[in-house]
Structure 1
Amino acid sequence: MKYLSIFLILILIGCKNDTKKELMTDSEIDPSVYKMWASFVESNPENTIDELPESWFFHDNKVDADRLAALTLNGKKKATTSGLYNWYVEAKADLPQIGTKHIVTDFNGKAKAIIEITSVDTIPFNQMTESLAALDMGTDTEPLGKWRKAHWSFFKSIMNENSEEPTEDMLIVFERFEMIWKMK
């Protein structure tokens, strides 16, 4: 049961909500996702062999999902915390891979941008820097404080469900990305 929980957590981590995607069939994916990918591939023929990337939205609610998609579109959000390193280990899951593309949507599944992972790091929670937090939070106004508060609360709530407690030195998985295409 613990590993099933960890697997489900991996789906939900990083303030991304893949639950909606996981429950959707191809016919339920918003047509804008296919349209965006087709437009990208037409303009970048070297990607014609790539499969349709996963599409998802940041966070778990409309306000934050739409806000974070907008921050990605305007180039302020350039990273995401995708979970705890230990969750990947326990689930025997690969860390995110450099070069992987994703389609970021709004909360309703409408495609907004294609991003590509440019780096993946594991960082102790207490060693997150102001500059990295700014990339994740999409703001220069107290980004580290906002990052710590939001992520500590998230990790604590998930870990408490498994009778675990977060620690200041727990390793997080941090992905930087580049927006490579946006809806026109």
Structure 2
Amino acid sequence: MRHISIFLFLILVGCKNETKNKTEMGTDNQSEITTETENGIDQSASEMWNDFIQSNPEFKNGEIPESDFFHNNEVDANRLAELTLTGKKRASSGLYSLYEQYNADLPSVGTKQIVTDFNGKAKAIIENVSVDTIPFKKISKEYAELDMGTDIEPLKKWKKAHWEFFENFLKESGKKPTEEMLIVAVEFKKIWPKDE
């Protein structure tokens, strides 16, 4: 189960260094989160999906999308959720080798997801519009800007943050990142809430 959680997290990774791992938060906070959920899904995610399908009835027979946050710590997860909500963050990056390792399907165009903050509160619904597999060294400045949610040195920040993150993860299996490692580059659009 731990590997599946790590895998899902890496699919959604946004950026920055690890500062506070969710497992280090303590049982009090985790118990608090559990009492606020229904069937493992925070009520805010269900409410957001219901609001979305009321305005988009063509999706009323579809299942509620998965909900999750970007990154692995509270500060970054909350920051990236806000960047997604404002439309500044429009991409996410994962490590292709993890899809192979866990025999998982790559993300697909049209898949929806409810983006939450670190505590599971729904912030936005996104939909994948593009999925590419690109060597680390070929990530473009334009893509990095979409993923990082900033136009200030986006490629430099993207490379530093993702190299360090992938290096830390790969270290567990005795591997090292390379400039040739494949990145699953997913571009998405925010579809809910609608901009005013």
After TM superposition, is the score higher than 0.5? yes
Give the CA deviation at 1:47: 0.2
2:26 maps to none
Which residue number in structure 1 is paired with residue 13 of structure 2?
15
Q: Distance in 1 between matches of 2:2 and 2:169?
A: 10
Distance (whole Å) between structure 2 residues aligned to residue 8 and residue 47 of structure 1: 28
Counterpart of 2:86, as a letter, is N
- In structure 2, the residue matched to 1:181 is 192
Contact 2:67-2:114 within 8 A present in 1 as well:
yes
CA contact (8 A) 1:11 1:18 kept: no
Q: Distance in 1 between matches of 2:39 and 2:117?
A: 18
1:140 paired with 2:151, answer yes
Within 2, Cα distance between the matches of 1:47 and 1:106?
A: 24
Between the aligned partners of 2:38 and 2:183, the Cα distance in structure 1 is 32
Identity %: 54
Counterpart AA for 1:30: D
Q: Any unmatched runs of 5+ in structure 1?
A: none
Say whether the 8 Å CA contact 1:85–1:172 is kept in structure 2: yes
State whether structure 2 residue 96 is matched by structure 1 residue 122.
no
**How many pairs align?**
178
Contact 1:130 1:143 in 2 (8 A): yes
- The TM-score normalised by the length of structure 1 is 0.88
CA RMSD of aligned residues (A): 2.4
Per-residue Cα deviation, 1:42-78 (whole angstroms, up to 9, x for no partner): 1101001110111111111111111111111111100
Residue number among 67, 70, 87 corresponding to 2:98 in the alignment = 87
Query: Which residues of structure 2 form unaligned runs of 5+?
Result: 15-20, 24-29
Inter-partner Cα distance in structure 1 for 2:6 and 2:40: 23
Q: How does 1:1-184 map to 2 (within 5 A)?
A: 7-13=4-10, 14-15=12-13, 26-81=38-93, 83-182=94-193
- TM-score, normalization by structure 2: 0.83
